[in-house]
A and B are shown apart, each in its own frame.
Chain A
Amino acid sequence: MNINFHGIRAIYRFEMARTGRTLMQSVASPVISTSLYFIVFGSAIGSRITSVEGVSYGAFIVPGLTMLSLLMLSVSNASFGIYFPKFVGTIYEVHSAPLSYLEIVTGYVGAAATKAIMVGLIILATARLFVPYSIAHPAVMVLFLVLTTVAFSLFGFIIGIWADNFEKLQVVPLMVITPLTFLGGSFYSIHMLPPFWQKVTLFNPVVYLVSGFRWSFYGLADVNVGISVAATVVFLALCLTAVWWIFRTGWRLKA
């Protein structure tokens, strides 16, 4: 099978170099803002809140807040990565290069996911300064980290192709992902909700991500961890199908 490894590497390195040029925006900003959550909700207010299912509140919110950053970063990195060449017109070069859609996606999404994982790990390390926590199942934690970032980077890639202005680029992360994450059990267990809202919450896909990720830390889950993994894989498959269709038809990419 003929694979353009040089092409994938070129896109990947190009995107990673962009992060290097914007360290404050790409790395420092999400780390600082998430650290503020740990300080306020973990150390300050969290010390006055009773533990949740045997885990201190400060430690309980670590997986959820990390997941919030991962989702936001994955989507914004990937959407901007593909939107910017479209916006400035340099996308012509990608289209005219001997690259399959899978190779293009691997380059852009791989870089977006890598950046999100890097920042996610920095956030986890920073959180340790304010909140004591442990990771019960490191392998599962890494699995969720990778699956989630790849799936949402793909989602961000789709948003970047769909968007035809900067406002649209921001709409989904701010108006959809942030509310879903806040209402997806980042700050609480869904068992703390009234029975009706517990059922409604199950329609929120982020619940499965946060629950699965938290299970890898403390062995606590709102939904079965197997279902969480399956939900993440299904979302990943849906995004891949959408990307395949986009490249097959040239939707919003080619005339």
Chain B
Amino acid sequence: MAEDSTWPDGTLRADPDQKYNTNQFIFSSPMYAAEDANGTHADPMIVVRGLDKTYASGFRALKGIDLTVCRGEIFALLGPNGAGKTTLISIICGIVNPGHGSVTVDGHDIVREWRKTRSIIGLVPQELHTDAFETVWNTVRFSRGLFGKAPDDAHIEQVLKDLSLWDRRHNKVLTLSGGMKRRVMIAKALAHQPTVLFLDEPTAGVDVELRRDMWAMVRRLRESGVTIILTTHYIEEAEDMADRVGVIHKGELIVVEDKTTLMHKLGKKQLRLQLHEPVTVLPDALSGYKLELNGNGDELIYTYDTRGERTGITALLRDLSAAGIGFKDLSTRQDSLEQIFVDLVRERA
């Protein structure tokens, strides 16, 4: 086996020939340049190595997942339905039994030291599972006790106030709206002051205002040092919130990357030129460029790779001028994270 196919601790890396090698992107951003000269990770909070999970039905939900999440970061896990996001989260949280592989949280193994790892993890599940007949106060207080923390009414009060639930504390959960129930789920997850918070599609089905409130709260939590792992179908949220992004598809982590770097590396950029005169056919002199004309022939679209040393824009503009094609305006556009996500998943389909 090649030397570079193993981690410093001897565990297996993902296939180094894989196109989007999961591991090569980990800590690649300056913000998370957490790999020192000895190749050891500076401050990993969650370390997943070779995690595999096959359900009793025979469905293989996870295929050798390798992932490291740093302390204090917001990590967005993206993937289509059934990709394995919830299975991965559920294993780390102790809800689903792990298959092969290992997971550590804050240096503690989730199987051997489950009590330590679970006590520092908070989970907001995808579904609205609530104690319908309990009051908001009681159900949040219950969660704190469940995680082994002594009663602390001041903390519960603060959590409820932060989530705008204080006025509803005596209401039964069943009387609340869907958005309010979602807040209760978050309050329950925060009741025991976790240092790692999993948010499994927390904004699914909530209105815009509540979504903004939630992300403001997530930012505050991150500022207080909480490591946040979120899954979402709203890619723009990941684009807006996350420090790093992982894409999981059919149980495989196909890319893990700093968000900005990912968009820079994988995102295509387009130069759009508004032409003075419509053009029907492009001259042969421009055949070497990746050009498209819009339907009316009055806009020329040049797609270029931002990873290349040269974008070819200068040469294109020169050749356009030489060909007598003038333009009155120009603009550039970069792929959104959503487009990158769609392309990645389509490529793997």
Inter-chain contact A89/B129, CB cutoff 8 Å: yes
Inter-chain contact A99/B123, CB cutoff 8 Å: no
Chain B: CB-nearest residue to A88: B129
- Contacts of B326 on A, CB cut-off 8 Å? none
Interface members, chain B 245-300 (any A CB < 8 Å): none
Interface members, chain A 104-151 (any B CB < 8 Å): none
A252 to B164, CA, bound (A): 37
Inter-chain contact A92/B95, CB cutoff 8 Å: yes
Residue from A9, A88, A255 in contact with B96 in the complex, judged by beta carbons closer than 8 Å: A255
- A49 on interface, CB distance cutoff 8 Å: no
- A2 on interface, CB distance cutoff 8 Å: yes
- B118 on interface, CB distance cutoff 8 Å: yes
> Interface residue count for A (Cβ, 8 Å)?
27
Interface members, chain A 234-255 (any B CB < 8 Å): 250, 254-255
> Interface residue count for B (Cβ, 8 Å)?
35
- Contacts of A10 on B, CB cut-off 8 Å? 142, 144-146
A95 to B118, CA, bound (A): 9
- A96 on interface, CB distance cutoff 8 Å: yes
- Contacts of A90 on B, CB cut-off 8 Å? 129-131
Inter-chain contact B129/A98, CB cutoff 8 Å: no
- A94 on interface, CB distance cutoff 8 Å: yes
Inter-chain contact A98/B115, CB cutoff 8 Å: yes
A98 to B119, CA, bound (A): 6
Interface members, chain B 25-61 (any A CB < 8 Å): 55-56
- Contacts of A92 on B, CB cut-off 8 Å? 95, 123, 125, 129
Residue from B56, B121, B145 in contact with A96 in the complex, judged by beta carbons closer than 8 Å: B121
- Contacts of A95 on B, CB cut-off 8 Å? 93-95
Inter-chain contact B147/A88, CB cutoff 8 Å: no
Inter-chain contact B123/A96, CB cutoff 8 Å: yes
- A21 on interface, CB distance cutoff 8 Å: yes
Q: A88-B132, A90-B130, A98-B119 are in contact. Are A4 and B148 (CB under 8 A)?
A: yes
Inter-chain contact A14/B142, CB cutoff 8 Å: yes
- Contacts of B127 on A, CB cut-off 8 Å? 89
Q: A14-B142, A88-B129, A92-B129 are in contact. Are A98 and B147 (CB under 8 A)?
A: yes
A93 to B122, CA, bound (A): 9
Inter-chain contact A254/B146, CB cutoff 8 Å: no
- A48 on interface, CB distance cutoff 8 Å: no
Inter-chain contact B55/A255, CB cutoff 8 Å: yes
- Contacts of A18 on B, CB cut-off 8 Å? 133
Inter-chain contact A7/B145, CB cutoff 8 Å: yes
Inter-chain contact B145/A6, CB cutoff 8 Å: yes
- Contacts of B134 on A, CB cut-off 8 Å? 14, 17
Inter-chain contact B114/A6, CB cutoff 8 Å: no
Inter-chain contact B115/A2, CB cutoff 8 Å: yes
- B143 on interface, CB distance cutoff 8 Å: yes
Inter-chain contact A97/B55, CB cutoff 8 Å: no
A255 to B87, CA, bound (A): 9
- B138 on interface, CB distance cutoff 8 Å: yes
- B149 on interface, CB distance cutoff 8 Å: yes
Residue from A17, A94, A255 in contact with B146 in the complex, judged by beta carbons closer than 8 Å: A94
- Contacts of B142 on A, CB cut-off 8 Å? 10, 13-14
A100 to B95, CA, bound (A): 13
Chain B: CB-nearest residue to A9: B145
- Contacts of B188 on A, CB cut-off 8 Å? 93
Chain A: CB-nearest residue to B120: A98
Interface members, chain B 58-107 (any A CB < 8 Å): 90, 93-97
- B150 on interface, CB distance cutoff 8 Å: yes
Q: How many whole Å from A60's CB to the nearest CB in chain B?
A: 41
- Contacts of A2 on B, CB cut-off 8 Å? 115
- Contacts of B90 on A, CB cut-off 8 Å? 255
**Can you identify 24 A-B contacts, CB atoms within 8 angstroms?**
A4-B148, A6-B144, A6-B150, A7-B145, A13-B145, A14-B138, A18-B133, A89-B127, A89-B129, A90-B130, A92-B95, A92-B125, A93-B123, A93-B146, A94-B146, A95-B94, A98-B115, A98-B118, A98-B148, A250-B97, A254-B97, A255-B55, A255-B95, A255-B97
Shortest Cβ-Cβ A-B pairs, 6 listed: A10-B145, A89-B129, A98-B118, A98-B115, A97-B146, A98-B119
